[in-house]
Structure 1
Amino acid sequence: MPTPDSFRTVRVPDATIHDPRRRRAILIAVCIALMAVIASVSGLNVAQPQVAVALGASQSTVLWMINVYTLTLAALLLPLGALGDRVGRKPILLVGLAMFGVASAAAGLATSSGMMIAARLLAGVGAAMIMPVTLAVITSTFPDEERSKAIGVWTGVAAGGGILGMYLSAVLVDWANWRWLFLLPVLLVAAATGLALRAVPNSREQSRHRFDLVGSLTSVIAVVALIYVLHEGPIHGWTAPVTLVSLLVGVAAGIGFVAWELRRAAPLLDVRLFRDRRLASGSLVLLALFGVQAGIFVVLFPYFQAVLGWSGLRAPPSRSCRWQR
């Protein structure tokens, strides 16, 4: 049986920053990096018709261009976040920013659907390195009395980044070309990298336990398989062999992940926390909210633009209820 001491990690060195100006620079750096990641989640939704025509892609292929980014981000968020805690948060952040910037530039220059999907997948890997590290940098560098304020700013950027990305993308689609959508994340990455190099200190957690490789693999398999079912089920059929096999693999991997994490002294994700009804119910509400929102965005944007002939800037859902008379 694991003891309370077995869950402890040793932080080396103490990375708390006491200079207010440097803390502001750190907060700006991680928030810019986070904004680049979040803005890329919703940005491509606005340009679905233009991308389909330019690359000769079917609707299913365009959906993969959109969803492979969020799929990769979701699947790798836990393991890459844990890896950053172990090997050093600043190196992981910088590598993630470089990978994300290169992938975004490649997506903007894509000449085929395959190139676009590969670039978006690579961007998802970079985003999975950036997003958890930005929060970990805040928790490790800000003193207790300032940490909650900084996390509040981080949360606000996470909430507003998607809206900002959606509207800026709509402006670029209307006034320039869909390829310019990927200029925004490249610029944000350049700014975040410059600030991170100067202001963000390196910090890491020294654990007494090995990296949770089994938990990482089972979590990735579960996420990929279950999202594949939701993505391809309507195309192949909900009772098709590939759909049922993917569902079985996803459920089995999910159960295996939970069972393994319950046995680990230092789990990748402490699933015991979800025994708290407030945390569990809040997580389910957020899952339903963002799941429905993402589905609406994918359907409404091409309908407003391709069927009703609306511009990209007029199509975002905040104005979509203003039907033409």
Structure 2
Amino acid sequence: MSAAGPSVPDARQLRTILIAVCIALMAVIASVSGLNVAQPDLAVEFDASQGTILWIINIYTLSLAALLLPLGAIGDRWGRKPMLIIGLAVFGVASAAAGLAPTAEVMLAARLASGVGGAMIMPITLAVITSTFPEEERGRAIGVWTGVAGGGGILGMFLSATLVDVASWRWLFVLPVVLVLVALVMALRSVPNSREGFGHAFDTVGALASIVAVVGLIFVLQEGPERGWTTPATLISLAVGIIAAVGFVAWELRRRDAALLDVRLFRERRLAGGSITLLVVFGVQAGIFVALFPFFQAVLGWSGLLSTLALMPMAVLMMMTSGLAPRLAARIGP
């Protein structure tokens, strides 16, 4: 399996590429949490139940998570630049449609399409870095990417709260559309194309199994607190998710060199340890959002803007230290 692409760009081109993919990533990440600050406004606008509002918010995350792996793999085969460009176009159009949505049904469809576009963008941004940057520069670039991924959610909430306070919830979608347009122009000009050469067909069975597993398990996490952890819908979703996940692992072990994801790689302690660490860190961060944001508003009586401002130190420090971490790792070890 070999990557095909142009020669290594110079330092200026590398900076432009990093800025372009980070802007694209920021649009995707900011849209994960941005609508949380507008729940009351959405309920009034669409005369919708709390369940519908939660699905408007969560369907984006669900489609994004479910499609990350298969769409990332398709981008590796087809070409990373075309996948990034199409993903940005889909995401931008869907975000604009969400901002103009006249009904809750249109909003749900637009958010679903946004998740599809986000799943085309997010893995490709990292793949562009790993395939473009030389080894000695790659760690620092990935550190910046990680900082944007971690801090983008809080920054998106802050900007969203500002827009809700001074204008309307519909202006929340102006930010991702603007970010997408900037990223699209920069990507067309600067991001080189690259792809992986495969001597086997795309792993369709593995892709479908991964989608079912992710949808089943995320449905449990999203609906369990609302419906109840022991209701039939929650238990069935949990069973389907676990069976699909086990089936996915078994199928990928059988496919070996033709696998969508070589799960044997996780026998490597560093890869497994790093993956678990990221899962814990971002899981805890998401839990802090879920607990602190409503506490600030419901208990302390703060506005949405002030509540997100209180979370900003997390975002700022994370984005600052993400650039420092590779240098520290070079000195003291990973």
TM-score using structure 1 length: 0.88
1:15-94 alignment to 2 at 5 Å? 15-94=6-85
Q: Which of 176, 188, 195 is residue 179 of structure 2 equivalent to?
A: 188
Structure 1 Cα separation of the partners of residues 143 and 122 of structure 2:
15
1:109-188 alignment to 2 at 5 Å? 109-188=100-179
Aligned pair count reads 311
Higher helix share: 2
Structure 2 Cα separation of the partners of residues 96 and 162 of structure 1:
19
SS at match of 2:197: strand
- 2:196 is aligned to 205
Structure 1 residue 230 displacement after superposition: 2.3
Structure 1 residue 288 displacement after superposition: 4.1
Structure 1 Cα separation of the partners of residues 281 and 2 of structure 2:
37
Structure 1 Cα separation of the partners of residues 136 and 73 of structure 2:
25
TM-superposition CA deviations, 1:230-256 (whole Å, max 9, x none): 222334333332222212111110000
- 1:10 is aligned to 2
TM-superposition CA deviations, 1:64-123 (whole Å, max 9, x none): 111111111111001000100101111100100000001111111122221111111100
Structure 2 Cα separation of the partners of residues 319 and 16 of structure 1:
42
Q: Which runs of 5+ in 2 are unaligned?
A: 313-334
The code of the aligned residue for 1:23 comes to: L
Q: Which of 245, 261, 264 is residue 272 of structure 1 equivalent to?
A: 264
Q: Percentage identity across aligned positions?
A: 70
Relative to structure 1, the CA distance from residue 157 to residue 192 in structure 2 (aligned partners, 3 Å threshold; closer, same or farther) is same
Matched, 1:283 2:283: no
SS at match of 1:315: helix
TM-superposition CA deviations, 1:153-188 (whole Å, max 9, x none): 222222221121111111111111111111000000
Q: For the Cα contact (< 8 Å) 2:154–2:311, is it kept in 1?
A: no
Structure 1 residue 10 displacement after superposition: 2.4
Structure 1 residue 33 displacement after superposition: 0.6
- 1:250 is aligned to 241
Q: For the Cα contact (< 8 Å) 1:18–1:143, is it kept in 2?
A: no
Q: Which of 261, 280, 286 is residue 294 of structure 1 equivalent to?
A: 286
TM-score using structure 2 length: 0.86
TM-superposition CA deviations, 1:23-81 (whole Å, max 9, x none): 22211111111111111111111111221222222222221111111111111001000
- 2:214 is aligned to 223
Q: For the Cα contact (< 8 Å) 1:52–1:59, is it kept in 2?
A: yes
TM-superposition CA deviations, 1:102-150 (whole Å, max 9, x none): 1111111122221111111100100000011111112222222322222
Query: RMSD of aligned C-alpha atoms?
Result: 2.1
Q: For the Cα contact (< 8 Å) 2:150–2:282, is it kept in 1?
A: no
SS at match of 2:247: helix
- 2:332 is aligned to none
Relative to structure 1, the CA distance from residue 16 to residue 243 in structure 2 (aligned partners, 3 Å threshold; closer, same or farther) is same
Structure 1 Cα separation of the partners of residues 223 and 270 of structure 2:
33
Structure 1 Cα separation of the partners of residues 260 and 290 of structure 2:
32
Matched, 1:238 2:229: yes
Structure 1 Cα separation of the partners of residues 299 and 43 of structure 2:
15
- 1:3 is aligned to none
TM-superposition CA deviations, 1:180-201 (whole Å, max 9, x none): 1110000000000111111112
Q: For the Cα contact (< 8 Å) 2:158–2:309, is it kept in 1?
A: no
Relative to structure 1, the CA distance from residue 226 to residue 313 in structure 2 (aligned partners, 3 Å threshold; closer, same or farther) is same
Structure 1 residue 209 displacement after superposition: 1.6
